[in-house]
Amino acid sequence: MSGTRALTNLQMACPDCHTLNRVPEEKLGQGRCGRCKAALFHCKPINLAEAHFAQHVRAELPLVVDFWAQWCAPCKMFAPVFEQATTELEPRVQLAKVDTEQAQQLAAQYGIRSIPTLALFRQGRELDRVSGALPKEQFLQWVRERI
């Protein structure tokens, strides 16, 4: 049919129970988890541990991960920027934080050498990364240019 667009369902992981869900693209912002019924977006980054990282990275919805550590001053400076960015990037992108001190194996697996490191994933692939605390507008531009 000409002039009509096929409905697209995007796969994404629930920030609460980490179950993969299929959500119609046009209803991303209102989506609820089919398992736990929690909202799929909370307007704040998801704190990811190693146990649930793979579910979120495999999703079709882009995922930006902030690899950080509690002792890192630039990480602490960047944290409010990252959190504020969720209100501008959701529901087109999910944002998550990984504490490299708690997830050392994951940090080693992805070759995290400096923090903060921001990595963009989609469907199990790392698409790009940048290291260092970015100003909000620069961070938003980096994400938007890559999704």
- 72, HSE (Cβ side, Cα atoms, 13 Å): 19
The amino acid present at 12, given as its one-letter code, is M
Catalytic residues: 72, 75
Instruction: Report the candidate in 90, 95, 105 with the shortest Cα–Cα distance to residue 49.
Output: 105
Residues in contact with 38: Cβ distance below 8 Å, sequence separation at least 6, in sequence order: 14, 15, 16, 17, 32
